[in-house]
């Protein structure tokens, strides 16, 4: 089944977690992805929050396969900043392989953040954000 950001925003947290658990890591992505923050999933606030975040704070990520890093596109102007290392590793959610977006060695402002992504549809990844070891929010990336 092909998923969209709108469909993921309408899922419960449990459904998002189940989808992540059931999905393969997929290949490490390359290039620019449109991002959608999934905050308060399956509520009337989810879509408006995602639109607000997308417009003012975070638009997505740009993956560079040569350096095995990514940069986030942030602010209303889409500046590329906040670098993360990209590699495969065990997910903190279920211990199975995922793609890890690790900010611990590359970012002063986000050194406590770790993202994990898995491929849920062609060119479409579902992600989990951790602050330390605590789960924070979900997101998706459309390439």
Structure confidence at residue 100 (pLDDT): 98
For residue 5, the model assigns a pLDDT of 98
Q: Can you give the pLDDT at residue 64? A: 98
State residue 113's pLDDT score. 98
Low-confidence ranges of the chain (pLDDT < 50): none
| 124-131 vs 134-142, strand pairing mode | antiparallel
- Whole-number pLDDT of residue 77: 87
């Amino acid at each position: 089944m092909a998923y969209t950001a709108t469909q993921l925003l309408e899922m419960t947290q449990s459904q998002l977690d189940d989808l992540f658990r059931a999905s393969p890591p997929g290949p490490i992505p390359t290039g620019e992805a449109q991002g959608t923050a999934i905050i308060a999933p399956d509520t009337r606030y989810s879509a408006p929050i995602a639109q607000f975040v997308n417009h003012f704070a975070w638009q997505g990520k740009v993956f560079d396969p040569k350096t095995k890093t990514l940069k986030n596109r942030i602010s209303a102007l889409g500046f590329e900043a906040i670098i993360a290392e990209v590699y495969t590793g065990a997910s903190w959610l279920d211990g199975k392989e995922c793609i890890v977006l690790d900010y611990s060695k590359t970012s002063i402002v986000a050194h406590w953040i770790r993202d994990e992504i898995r491929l849920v549809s062609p060119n479409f990844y579902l992600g989990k954000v951790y602050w330390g070891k605590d789960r924070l929010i979900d997101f998706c990336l459309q390439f």
